Structure 1
Amino acid sequence: MPASQYRFGDFKLLPAERLLFRRGAEVAMTARAFELLVAFVERAGQLLAKDELLRRVWAGVVVEENNLAVQVGTLRRLLGAEAITTIPGFGYRFALPVLEVAESREPAPQTHGRLPVRLPALIGREDELRALQALLRQHPAVTLCGGPGIGKTRLAQELARRLAHDHADGAWWVDLTLLHEGEPVAAAVARALGLPPGPEPLATLAARLSSLAMLLVLDNAEHRVEGVAEVVATLARDTGGVSLLITSQLPLQIPGERVYRLDALPLDDAVRLLAARAGEAEAGNGAKAAEVCAALDCNPLAIELAASRLDALGLDGLAARLNERLTLLAPADARSASRHNALAEALRWSHELLAERERRVLRRLAIFPGSFSLEGAALVLASDELPAAAAVASVLGLVERSLISVDRGSASRRFRLLETMRLFARDRLAAAGETAQAQARLCAGLRWLLDDAYEESWRLPPAAWRARYEAELPGLWAALTWAGRHDLASAAALFGASAPLWMPRATQARPHALALAARLAGDGAGIPAAVLARFWWACARCHSVVHPGLAREAADRAARLYRDLGDARGEYLALVEHAFNWRVDGPEARATLAAARRLENPGWPAAVLERGLTTEAVLHLTSGRHDEARRCYRAALEVCERDGFDAGIIRARLNLADQARAAGELALAVELGEALLAEQRDAGDLTGLATLMGNLVGALVAQGRFERAREVAQDCPRLLGWLGLDEQLWMSLDALALIQLHAGHVALAARLAGVADREFEAHGQMQRQPNEAEDRAALAAGLARRLDADEIERLAREGRRMSLPDAMRAALAPG
């Protein structure tokens, strides 16, 4: 059974992890007090007898009743006297409103592509699917056109699901409703694909996709028709293997576009849809169901909305109400199409049937740019006049009325407004004059959610943590963009609290880091020091390795702020980040790390301690102290095993393999690397897998096993996917060049050397790590034996002009 989390007042309780947070700060409790709190919260509002509480909290131990009274007193001092009510002669009742938040399911493994999954059954549309499949096989860009609510998105989802395996690099879904204000469409597409932004977004995107074979679906293009048209025209012209499917209310009107116009459902299919959504009880009266569907012009969304009222009105009542209202609002010209009128009226009618509280909740939910959790909705919607529990009840009531859909494509239970409904609700929000207030509420609620998430990230298994929070990223980017313009303090707080969430996508966070840092460096007045400290630490992590100088500067600011706050853990993390970003051993790095070690607390979570031990190991490694480096990596492994921190265990084992190679123990390095590869090739952690495979390739090359090194290297595209492969493997370019040199491809090896030098410089790493430096030295020596210095330099200059994706494809080409 999945675990649950609970929110009440300012608190969040995680029973399975034995954690309690108050506004993002962990609350220390005794074991007895924690068990008692869990017992109360799980049965909030119910009378709990004293004997029952004693049996649960002190199971198998005979204690006096005053022990229970002492623990109840402890909880009252912590939560407030009103939190627990005494029922004289009987027991206690937990009196605070409690919101239960269901734990998320295990996350799906990362795949080559990203599509919604676990979608509701598609009713009908088989002819349309066959026609669209044929068009996509013949044309690079197909636009699926149709009016609001006609079913374009659901049809595109099904089509993409069926065609995903026809494309080597998968099928990718881009929801264009998530575009930030003023954001180029090409930059939004790159963000959805997990690619770093470029100075010229469209040219960069076309270059990155030029050699890939993928299906790219751009949903809801009518929001930015001109920008989408430019992107589609460029990709259709400049990429050979990218198929583009666009959903839009309007054609793009670009050369080569094929438009497929989607009509309403055939009446038989419309009746089937109504029956499927209404349940078997209403499926029998086919004539009356057909009358309802015809009145709604067989529009799927209008039918969904009407079906939610069948339980109250029945088919006869629904048909009568619809005919009456649609007649009153029919267009003057009876020949005019009524489809848009029918949908608009269905939306208005559904809205008018709501209570005022539900209307308020519906319009305020329009501020979410994508999906949302019940927990997130409660934090954003809750106010003095609308407690969290009431807000959640309203959300669930709107789900019952089909005004909110359940997002089955997420790892945890999430909800969303369909785009037509979101636009309708957004108009109501603007009419009520609440848009700016709702934006501020979104920032405040997301900040509260992420403050708790930040602390959880140090203690929860990374996969489980990401399953809980990864779906918040679209809302985070939107909130950061808005707050950066309107509320600098909130922007800084959001960026710092969300660091564990965006860290695997640091390239997407970096523009926010640079923009906010430029403003906060000279204008942090009025912003709490704790917010600024975490913001600067997050900046250091964002720039780590890629821009070590910026990372050290940000870490230094964070360390000083944390020191003034008396936050030892925060100062430790900042100092460790500062030392790590020297990248090589030296007096500055040593002094900073020594200061961090003086603060170290063995009781801190493994995720904290591992970072410090790994940093110390890196410094030992770069100065040739291999025994000390091995000791630190083993210590990191032990502390991670102590806490069951699986991600840290894998990293420590990977680092031990890398250290073995640096120490000249090549057989051990290969043995450890091969064992890890056998375990991790299907684990779903693509970033860790890329590091593992790159390191193993280098060790095999150093051992002289070039054929096996080539096998591992050429397995990278299959296991990791070509999309973004260059960002994951660029540090292995020297080893890949050595493979090409051994195969007799001397000129290519020299060009790859030039690419490698350029990339190390571009990433701010003027000095390679020991194993990378060994690869580079071996490559230079091998080239020198085969070419004169002028020819090596000429080819290296050519390599510097190669794009990284082109270089990677050449390096991994078979033969």
Structure 2
Amino acid sequence: MAASVQGGRIGNLPAEANAFVGRQLELAEIAGLLGTERLVTLTGPGGVGKSRLALRAAHAAKAGLPGGAWLVELSELRDPDLLTNTVAQATRLTEQTLQPLLQAVCEHLAGAPVLLVLDTCEHVLDECARVVQELLANVPELRVLATSRQPLGVPGEHLLTVAPLPLGERDDAVSLFTARAAAAVPSFALTDANRADVAAVCARLDGIPLALELAAVRLRGFPLHRLLEGLDSRFDLLVSPARPRLARHQTLRTAIGWSHELCTPLERLLWARLSVFAGGWDVEAAEFVCHGGPLDAEEILALLASLTEKSIVTRDGDGAAVRYRMLDTVRSFGAEWLAGLGEVEAVRRRHRDYFRWIARQGEAEWLGPGQRMWAERLTAERANLRLAIEECLAAPEPETALELTGSLWFFWFACGFTEEGRGYLERALRRAPDGSGPEHTLAVWAHRLVTVVPEDLDAAESVSAAYVWLADERQLPVPALPLTGASLAVRGESARSAVLYGRVGQAPAADGGAEFFQLLTLALQAYLLASQAAFERCAAVAERLRTECAKRGELWMRGWGDFFVSLAGIGLGHSDEALLSAREALTAKWRVHDRLGAAAVADLLVAAQAARGEEELAARLLGISRRLWHAAGLPQLGRPDRTVFHREYERRLRASLGDARFAEVVREGWELGPDAAIALALGGVSDVSGP
């Protein structure tokens, strides 16, 4: 018997209470899937909008379904044995029968294409899986659209993860908040004056539709800026006064708490402990930081998989690059539980100590074939490193902060974070102004090292003395590095720098523990020679640097070797060779996330292409160069605008293209996205991954 028409329409879909906002890509994908798949399950965390999206998709599909579109709301169901009865009632099966009820439902739905929407399946998951499998086997015309915080696990199930709404001043999250705010407070409108605050509210709430709707209603009693300030206690602030809302959606706390109730005790404990991470984590980090008590390290991977299935944790990447993360709202819920357990201090200490160990490992392995891996790993862990540093700075022993910030010298110096590193090092050193010992010495040296790049180069003149202390602490038989001369060269005092430097051809001493200093000395030699226009000797030293780096499988310093070979080539008029070396340098710099180095290399590409007669390409690369310097947030190393070739090529480009065309093409380069810009700079290569 076919499903009947009720009240002049087929199905039981409720009218939508307000306008549906955004999700056009998801709706199109669901429509396509329902045309080819028999079971589609929308998964995602609580409050992300699975139910509303499924309802909108069902309304869009019902015109093509002679058997109707039927909504089965399961959130209030507590007894799984009543699931089939709930489906029967929702689809208006009213006839009395002696046959098994599920068989009667199958016959009731058969005869025409029909859609069954099972909303909120996670708490009766096993019974849902059994019933759906039976329905699909016996009703060939049936399509099922389910919503659940974890998959049903039925053969043939197609999963579609519903993410939070896109963030940004003109994206769906802002549109939804604005629409609901205007409904709650008719005078509210999005303006240039409040756009940034609205975007900030949406970002603080992770773009979660439920949170945005609850926040919008609070504008009846709070001005926007007060609402933004109050989001620090979001679970208390975001309470719905509306009676019709489902119980699990009355407050943000109960929406997230619904997921918490579905977890086992060990899953809840892991959720709470994971809340100490910022920005994400990998399995190793979770095992180290979150083990203890009833939670063994060996259990954590399986528990992470379970939390991922339940949409509490999100998994990104594959293989060794797999990382996990939580929405900030979900993390905040876990943090409250961690505080209730009285474990905050202990778990934060383990988090701090884990990243101290990671920093030491990265320092030990930086000069070698694992360099790119370490650059990517520490860049991914940047938020956790910040958190660990803050924890160290708050510790009573200043040595922990000195050690961590100093051990990360290679990250600050080589991966484009010199300004940030300098700030942390200064804070750590202020806590121990009269300090001594290896941690203090390392931090002093690291601080002096990162000052080679920013504008206050006077501080770099004391780095040689700092290195004497460091060499003594670490028993490194390497003479003091001539960074005093280098700092003068950076400021254009190349003649004086040559006198202070001494014999530029002198080879540095070599020692296993001093490899970085050996390579850096060669790079400084090349820098000083280039600043004096001694291009042939510069190329010879740079080739030695490249050879030494190749022996170690080292990328970052090898990129500087390529840089100076290219610079010497430009100086000698060998533009084709200079172009090839500059592209090799950019590839290396981009792969290890060295934004400063990439910007410096881009300047060489401008000069090389201009010298080859590629005026428009050179001008476009100039725009890319300016954008890279802007992204690096640092002054241009060595002030390339002061060099003869830089001024000459820019003058030539303006003369050749005309001021208007020159400005237009430079702007085009500036507006390119990072990937497109690097691909253009590399001559169309698009497989170089970077920051």
The residue identity in structure 2 corresponding to 1:671 is: D
Offset, 1:559? 1.1
Offset, 1:500? 3.1
From 47, 61, 69, the equivalent of 1:150 is 47
Kept after mapping to 1: 8 A contact 2:504/2:525: no
Structure with bigger RCO (C-alpha 8 Å, 6+ apart): 1
Taking a change above 3 Å as real, the CA distance of residues 428 and 273 of structure 1, as seen in their structure-2 partners, is closer
3-state SS of the aligned residue for 1:692? helix
Q: Which residue of 2 aligns with 1:268?
A: 117
Cα distance in 2 for partners of 1:334, 1:402 equals 27
Is 1:537 aligned with 2:441?
Answer: no
Offset, 1:413? 1.0
Q: Which residue of 1 aligns with 2:432?
A: 523
From 402, 408, 425, the equivalent of 1:492 is 402
From 435, 440, 444, the equivalent of 2:353 is 444
Query: In the TM superposition, what whole-angstrom CA distance separates every residue of 1:585-624 from its partner, at most 9, and x where no partner exists?
Result: 4667766677997862165686553322111122233334
* Alignment map for 1:20-99 (pairs within 5 Å): none
Q: Which residue of 2 aligns with 1:114?
A: none
Is 1:284 aligned with 2:194?
Answer: no
3-state SS of the aligned residue for 2:315? strand
3-state SS of the aligned residue for 1:621? helix
Is 1:580 aligned with 2:486?
Answer: yes
The residue identity in structure 2 corresponding to 1:600 is: A
Taking a change above 3 Å as real, the CA distance of residues 538 and 729 of structure 1, as seen in their structure-2 partners, is closer
CA RMSD of aligned residues (A): 5.3
Q: Which residue of 2 aligns with 1:660?
A: 569
Taking a change above 3 Å as real, the CA distance of residues 468 and 563 of structure 1, as seen in their structure-2 partners, is closer
Taking a change above 3 Å as real, the CA distance of residues 594 and 530 of structure 1, as seen in their structure-2 partners, is farther
* Alignment map for 1:50-449 (pairs within 5 Å): 128-130=22-24, 149-151=46-48, 268=117, 270=119, 283-285=132-134, 303-304=148-149, 335-340=244-249, 343-351=255-263, 353-355=264-266, 359-382=268-291, 388-389=297-298, 395=304, 398-399=307-308, 403-408=312-317, 412-449=321-358
3-state SS of the aligned residue for 1:372? coil
Taking a change above 3 Å as real, the CA distance of residues 606 and 490 of structure 1, as seen in their structure-2 partners, is closer
Cα distance in 2 for partners of 1:504, 1:276 equals 50
Query: In the TM superposition, what whole-angstrom CA distance separates every residue of 1:401-454 from its partner, at most 9, and x where no partner exists?
Result: 654332349971112234343222111111123323333332221111121112
Query: In the TM superposition, what whole-angstrom CA distance separates every residue of 1:62-105 from its partner, at most 9, and x where no partner exists?
Result: xxxxxxxxxxxxxxxxxxxxxxxxxxxxxxxxxxxxxxxxxxxx
Kept after mapping to 2: 8 A contact 1:551/1:578: no
Cα distance in 1 for partners of 2:505, 2:476 equals 9
Cα distance in 2 for partners of 1:478, 1:360 equals 21
Q: Which residue of 2 aligns with 1:711?
A: 617
Cα distance in 2 for partners of 1:402, 1:131 equals 21
Is 1:473 aligned with 2:385?
Answer: no
Larger mean CA deviation between 595-604 and 482-491 belongs to 595-604
The residue identity in structure 1 corresponding to 2:117 is: D
Kept after mapping to 1: 8 A contact 2:538/2:564: no
Cα distance in 2 for partners of 1:464, 1:338 equals 47
Q: Which residue of 1 aligns with 2:411?
A: 501
Cα distance in 2 for partners of 1:411, 1:155 equals 36
3-state SS of the aligned residue for 1:581? helix
Cα distance in 2 for partners of 1:307, 1:133 equals 21
The residue identity in structure 2 corresponding to 1:339 is: R
Query: In the TM superposition, what whole-angstrom CA distance separates every residue of 1:728-776 from its partner, at most 9, and x where no partner exists?
Result: 699xxxxxxxxxxxxxxxxxxxxxxxxxxxx66xx7x5xx579814544
Cα distance in 1 for partners of 2:546, 2:513 equals 15
Larger mean CA deviation between 611-620 and 557-566 belongs to 557-566
Taking a change above 3 Å as real, the CA distance of residues 558 and 506 of structure 1, as seen in their structure-2 partners, is farther
The residue identity in structure 1 corresponding to 2:643 is: E
The residue identity in structure 2 corresponding to 1:421 is: V
Unpaired segments ≥5 residues, structure 2: 1-18, 29-43, 54-114, 137-144, 156-239, 655-662, 673-691
Offset, 1:369? 1.5
Offset, 1:631? 2.2
Query: In the TM superposition, what whole-angstrom CA distance separates every residue of 1:428-486 from its partner, at most 9, and x where no partner exists?
Result: 11112332333333222111112111211112343333333321111112333343344
Q: Which residue of 1 aligns with 2:466?
A: 558
Offset, 1:535? 2.1
Taking a change above 3 Å as real, the CA distance of residues 659 and 280 of structure 1, as seen in their structure-2 partners, is farther
3-state SS of the aligned residue for 2:643? helix
Kept after mapping to 1: 8 A contact 2:406/2:446: yes
Offset, 1:359? 4.3
Offset, 1:636? 0.9
Q: Which residue of 2 aligns with 1:643?
A: 552
Q: Which has the larger radius of gyration?
A: 2
Cα distance in 1 for partners of 2:459, 2:130 equals 63
Cα distance in 2 for partners of 1:417, 1:400 equals 13
Cα distance in 1 for partners of 2:256, 2:343 equals 22
Cα distance in 2 for partners of 1:550, 1:489 equals 26
Kept after mapping to 2: 8 A contact 1:537/1:555: yes
Kept after mapping to 2: 8 A contact 1:618/1:629: yes
3-state SS of the aligned residue for 1:582? helix
Q: Which residue of 2 aligns with 1:252?
A: none
3-state SS of the aligned residue for 2:133? coil
TM-score by length of 2: 0.55
Cα distance in 1 for partners of 2:427, 2:600 equals 32
Kept after mapping to 2: 8 A contact 1:541/1:551: no
Taking a change above 3 Å as real, the CA distance of residues 593 and 518 of structure 1, as seen in their structure-2 partners, is farther
Cα distance in 2 for partners of 1:693, 1:532 equals 37
Q: Which residue of 1 aligns with 2:576?
A: 671
Offset, 1:656? 1.2
Offset, 1:727? 5.1
**Alignment length, in residue pairs?**
469
Kept after mapping to 1: 8 A contact 2:151/2:309: no
Taking a change above 3 Å as real, the CA distance of residues 350 and 564 of structure 1, as seen in their structure-2 partners, is same
Q: Which residue of 2 aligns with 1:739?
A: none
3-state SS of the aligned residue for 1:268? strand
Q: Which residue of 1 aligns with 2:643?
A: 772
Offset, 1:344? 4.4
Cα distance in 2 for partners of 1:618, 1:440 equals 43
Query: In the TM superposition, what whole-angstrom CA distance separates every residue of 1:699-720 from its partner, at most 9, and x where no partner exists?
Result: 455x5x6x51432231465xx5
3-state SS of the aligned residue for 2:117? helix
3-state SS of the aligned residue for 1:568? coil
Kept after mapping to 2: 8 A contact 1:369/1:478: yes
Kept after mapping to 2: 8 A contact 1:621/1:770: no
Cα distance in 2 for partners of 1:344, 1:446 equals 29
Kept after mapping to 2: 8 A contact 1:370/1:474: yes
Query: In the TM superposition, what whole-angstrom CA distance separates every residue of 1:628-676 from its partner, at most 9, and x where no partner exists?
Result: 32321121122123233344444323311211333xx21x1x0113334
